[in-house]
A and B are shown apart, each in its own frame.
Chain A
Amino acid sequence: MYLSILIFPLLASFVSGFMGRKIGITGSHIITCTCLSISSLLATVAFYEVGICGSPVSVYLFNWVDSEFMSISWEFLFDQLTVSMFIPVLYISTLIHIYTTSYLAEDPHNQRFFSYLSLFTFFMLLLVSGANYFVMFIGWEGIGVVSYLLINFYFTRIQANKAAILALTMNRVGDMGLSIGFFALFALFGSVDYSTIFSLAPFMNETAITVISLLLLMGAMAKSAQIPLHSWLPGSMEAPTPVSALLHAATLVTAGLYLLIRSSAILEFSPTALLVITLIGASTAFFAATCGLVQNDLKRIIAFSTISQLGYMIMAVGLSQYNVALMHVVNHAFFKALLFLGAGAVIHSFADEQDIRKMGGLIKFLPFTYTVMLVGSLSLLATPWLTGFYSKDLIIELAYGQYSFSGIYAYILGSLTAGLTAFYSFRLISLVFLTIPNGIKNVYLNSHESNFAVIIPLFVLALFSIFFGFVFSDLFVGVGSDFFANSIFINPNNIAIIEAEFSLPLIIKLLPTILSILGATSAIFLYHAYPDFIINFTDSALGRKIYTFLNGKYFFDNYYFISAGLLTGNTISKVLDRGVIELLGPYGLASVLENTANNIAKLDTGVITTYSLYITIGILSLSFLVFAPLLFDTFIISEFRLIVIYISALFFALLPSLSNKH
Chain B
Amino acid sequence: MNLSILLFLIGILGFILNRKNIILMIIAIEIMLLAVTLLVLISSFGFDDNIGQTFSIYIISIAGAESVIGLSILVAFYRLRGNISIRS
Contacts and interface: CB of A to CB of B under 8 A. Distances in A.
A and B: real partners? yes
Interface of A: 607-609, 612-613, 616
B3 interface: no
Nearest to A610: B16
Contacts of A612: 12, 15-16
Nearest to B20: A609
A616 B12 contact: yes
A607 B15 CA distance: 12
B11 to A, nearest CB: 11
B16 A616 contact: yes
Contacts of A616: 12, 16
Nearest to A608: B86
A616 B15 CA distance: 10
Contacts of A607: 86-87
A612 B12 CA distance: 8
B59 to A, nearest CB: 19
B83 interface: no
Interface of B: 12, 15-19, 25, 86-87
With most chain B CB atoms within 10 A of its CB, the pick from A609, A613, A616 is: A609
Contacts of B87: 607
B86 A613 contact: no
Nearest to B28: A612
Contacts of B86: 607-609
Q: For the complex of A and B, list the 3 residue pairs with the smallest distance between their C-beta atoms, beginning with the closest.
A: A613-B16, A612-B15, A612-B16
Nearest to B87: A607
Which secondary structure dominates where chain B touches chain A? helix
Nearest to A611: B16
A607 B87 CA distance: 7
A609 B21 CA distance: 11
With most chain B CB atoms within 10 A of its CB, the pick from A608, A612, A613, A616 is: A612
Nearest to A619: B12
Contacts of B25: 608-609
A93 to B, nearest CB: 89
B74 to A, nearest CB: 13
Nearest to B18: A609
A573 to B, nearest CB: 53
A156 to B, nearest CB: 77
A612 B18 CA distance: 11
A613 B28 CA distance: 14
Nearest to A620: B12
A613 B14 CA distance: 11
A608 B12 CA distance: 13
17 contacts: A607-B86, A607-B87, A608-B25, A608-B86, A609-B15, A609-B16, A609-B17, A609-B18, A609-B19, A609-B25, A609-B86, A612-B12, A612-B15, A612-B16, A613-B16, A616-B12, A616-B16
Contacts of A609: 15-19, 25, 86
A622 to B, nearest CB: 15
Contacts of B17: 609
A608 B15 CA distance: 9
A535 B17 CA distance: 101
Nearest to B29: A612
A608 to B, nearest CB: 6
A189 to B, nearest CB: 67
A239 B4 CA distance: 98
A613 B16 CA distance: 6
B32 to A, nearest CB: 11
Contacts of B12: 612, 616
Contacts of B19: 609
Contacts of A608: 25, 86
A661 to B, nearest CB: 13
Contacts of A613: 16
B12 to A, nearest CB: 6
A173 to B, nearest CB: 67
A613 B18 CA distance: 11
B38 to A, nearest CB: 19
Contacts of B18: 609
B33 to A, nearest CB: 15
A410 to B, nearest CB: 85
Given A609-B18, A612-B15, 6 more contacts: A607-B86, A607-B87, A609-B15, A609-B16, A609-B19, A616-B12
A277 B78 CA distance: 93
B19 to A, nearest CB: 6
